[in-house]
Each structure stands twice: as structure tokens, then as C-alpha cells.
């Protein structure tokens, strides 16, 4: 028998590729995992907008249009007013799903991230990989939602196509914030359920989704001002049907969400690296 010499992991793992493409490898793992459930994801991403638009967009919307002579908030039909908010919500929720429980899965339940770290990936690369997979999922959800909205005649111009990259970007910014928070969670204890109930749900209700934020009393209007969903919705309405908005305010919306996204990503990078080095 020939003498066999163990040559170590350097033969199995290409350090140069890991250094350059580590984030993509981490994202590939999550995307492959999602593909196992593609039928369920597709069914949800189609069924959710169809059911919601049928009940709220057309059902309630027809009543609103009837009592406003077809010219509801912002001077457009109610479904058109509602559509950018629904698209922003789809981007936020879909991205959020991929940066909550999957992060717990990677750190605690299966410790997949520790395996990646042992293979040479850095905490920063793993965090970026999670974000890339979340953006991929969010992109799929936003495109499907936009198609359904178009079929339901929510938009009257292809100008609304601008909403797809815009809401994907805003969904990614929100995903960075939630990923940073999820990186600190070591035991679920229904924490993510409470996040949905006490953060996401109020944000959905008080961010000018169903009516203009200016119609709310000042005591709750501040929720909309700090809500990423309100900023994303306002930008969406501007690009969907040219709602009135000064250029300065448009920049504020983009700047606010970009700032939150950068802060969230910075914190996530540090916390991922810290937990993996323990």
C-alpha cells in the first residue's frame, strides 16, 4: 500500500475562491434550500395578492370609488392608490422572512454558519450571502405581485415598472435592519412572532397604506414618519402615478431608507463575525 499523506482542507477548499466569492457561496446554500419549497413559495406569492386584491382592492375599492366618483385619494381610483403600498409590503415581508428564522437556523438550530466559517467564509460574507438570498426571494415576490396588480388594472402605464427595482431596493434596506436584529437572537421564544405583531402589523396599519397618512391624528402619525413602509409607499406612489411630491422629499425618503439599510448591514456584519468567533 502506498503511503498516504493528509494534505489538509486547502485541497478541498480553494481559499482564493472563498475570498472572492464567499458571499455568493453562502447565498447559493440558502437559494438551493428555498428551491426545495418552490411550489409553496410560488403558490403563496400568487395566491396572497390575488386574494387580497379581490377582497380589499376590488371589494372595498369599489365602494370607495363609488362614493368618491372614481377619484379617491390622490385623485386616482382606490386600487391604484393602494397598489404601491401593497407592492412595498410584499417586498418587505418577503425579504424579512429570509433574514429571521434562517438566521436562527444558521447560528443555533443547525449551526450551518459555523460550518461555513470553518470552511473559510467570514462573518461578513455570510451576512452578505443571507442578504443576497433575501433579495432574490424579494425580487421573485415583487415581480409576481406587480404582474398580478397589472392584471387587476391597478396601473395604467408601464411607468409603474419602476416600482419593481425601487421596492426590491427598499425591501433590501428593511431586510438589513431585521437581519441585524435577528443576529442578536439566541432563543426564538416567539420573538419573531412578536416582531410581526407589534412592529410589522402596526407599521402596515399606520403607514398610509389604506388612506393618506395626513388623515391620521398626530398622536399616531409619527408611526408612519419613522416607518420604512411609509417612505417606500410614498416613493412608489410618486413613480406609479406621479403623486405630488417635492424633489427634496423624494430624496428624504431614499436617504432615510438607505441610511437605515447601511446601519443595519454594518451591525449585522459585526454581530455575525462576533458570534462566529466565539
DSSP 184: T
Own/partner contacts of 11-14, CB < 8 Å, gap of 24 or more, are 13/119, 13/120
CA distances from residue 266 to 36, 74, 179, 269 in whole angstroms, order as listed: 31, 37, 10, 5
Q: Where are the alpha helices (DSSP H) in the chain?
A: 15-35, 38-52, 61-67, 78-98, 101-104, 112-118, 123-151, 163-182, 191-195, 201-205, 218-226, 228-241, 247-277
Would you give per-residue pLDDT tens digits along the chain (278 residues)? Answer: 445 454 445 555 666 666 678 899 999 999 999 999 889 888 888 888 888 787 776 777 677 666 666 566 777 888 888 899 999 999 999 999 999 999 999 999 999 999 999 888 999 999 999 999 999 999 999 999 999 999 988 888 888 999 999 999 999 999 999 999 999 998 877 888 888 888 888 888 888 888 888 888 888 888 889 999 999 999 999 999 888 899 999 999 999 999 999 999 999 999 999 999 98
- Within 8 A by CB and 6+ apart from 112, the residues are 29, 105, 106
Phi first, then psi, for residue 210 (nearest 5°) are -100, -15
Residue recorded with cell 385619494: 73
C-alpha to C-alpha distance for 205 and 92, rounded to whole angstroms = 14
In the chain, the N- to C-terminal Cα span, in Å, equals 42
Residues 182 and 104: beta-carbon distance below 8 Å: yes
pLDDT tens-digit series, residues 2-52: 454 544 455 556 666 666 788 999 999 999 999 998 898 888 888 888 887
Amino acid at each position: 500500500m502506498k503511503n498516504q499523506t493528509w494534505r489538509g482542507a486547502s485541497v478541498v477548499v480553494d481559499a482564493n475562491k472563498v475570498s472572492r466569492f464567499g458571499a455568493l457561496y453562502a447565498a447559493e446554500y440558502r437559494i438551493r434550500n428555498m428551491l426545495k419549497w418552490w411550489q409553496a413559495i410560488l403558490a403563496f406569492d400568487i395566491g396572497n395578492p390575488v386574494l387580497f386584491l379581490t377582497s380589499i382592492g376590488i371589494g372595498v375599492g369599489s365602494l370607495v370609488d363609488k362614493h368618491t366618483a372614481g377619484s379617491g385619494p390622490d385623485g386616482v381610483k382606490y386600487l391604484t392608490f393602494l397598489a404601491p403600498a401593497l407592492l412595498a409590503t410584499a417586498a418587505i415581508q418577503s425579504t424579512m422572512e429570509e433574514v429571521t428564522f434562517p438566521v436562527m437556523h444558521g447560528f443555533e438550530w443547525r449551526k450551518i454558519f459555523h460550518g461555513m466559517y470553518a470552511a473559510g467564509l467570514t462573518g461578513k460574507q455570510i451576512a452578505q450571502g443571507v442578504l443576497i438570498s433575501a433579495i432574490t426571494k424579494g425580487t421573485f415576490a415583487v415581480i409576481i405581485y406587480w404582474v398580478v396588480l397589472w392584471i387587476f388594472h391597478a396601473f395604467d402605464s408601464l411607468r409603474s415598472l419602476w416600482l419593481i427595482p425601487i421596492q426590491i431596493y427598499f425591501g433590501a434596506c428593511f431586510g438589513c435592519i431585521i437581519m441585524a436584529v435577528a443576529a442578536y437572537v439566541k432563543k426564538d421564544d416567539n420573538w419573531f412572532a412578536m416582531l410581526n405583531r407589534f412592529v410589522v402589523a402596526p407599521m402596515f396599519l399606520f403607514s398610509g397604506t389604506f388612506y393618506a397618512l395626513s388623515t391620521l391624528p398626530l398622536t399616531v402619525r409619527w408611526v408612519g414618519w419613522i416607518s420604512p413602509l411609509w417612505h417606500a409607499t410614498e416613493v412608489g406612489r410618486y413613480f406609479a402615478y406621479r403623486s405630488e411630491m417635492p424633489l427634496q422629499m423624494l430624496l428624504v425618503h431614499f436617504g432615510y431608507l438607505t441610511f437605515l439599510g447601511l446601519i443595519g448591514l454594518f451591525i449585522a456584519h459585526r454581530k455575525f463575525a462576533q458570534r462566529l468567533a466565539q
